[in-house]
Amino acid sequence: MIRLVAYDITTPKRLRLVARTCEDYGVRIEKSVFECDLEESHFVVFWSTLSAIIDPEEDSLIAYKICKSCIRDIHSAGVIERPQARLVYLF
């Protein structure tokens, strides 16, 4: 399942941790937006990791589920490189 994950983190240290975690699970689409193609069990681990990093009083974190059939309806313009199909995922 494709997830679009976006965040707004207030401190540089937590921002770096969140960004690195997102890089481990997905592909950066914008500065604070990642596209992640994960099995539900991997997403649960990913989300738990992110939730443990952020300060819920100061930061924001959101994930949208995008169904596989909707992927072909995504429109983009400019310098955006969507991830290609992967053969192997390493965790």
Ordered by where they begin, the domains of the chain are 2-69 (3.30.70.240)
Instruction: Report pLDDT digits (tens) over 31-49.
Output: 999 999 999 999 999 999 9
The tokens 């429109």 sit on which residue?
A: 75
Range with lowest mean pLDDT among 8-17, 22-31, 65-74: 65-74
The CA angle 82-29-16, to the nearest 5 degrees, is 140
Query: Does residue 87 or residue 29 have the better pLDDT?
Result: 29
Return the higher-pLDDT residue of 36 and 81.
Answer: 36
Q: Which pTM was predicted?
A: 0.80
- pLDDT, average across residues 72-80: 69
For residues 6 and 34, what is the distance between their CA atoms, to the nearest angstrom?
Answer: 6
Residue 34: how many other CB atoms lie within 10 Å: 23
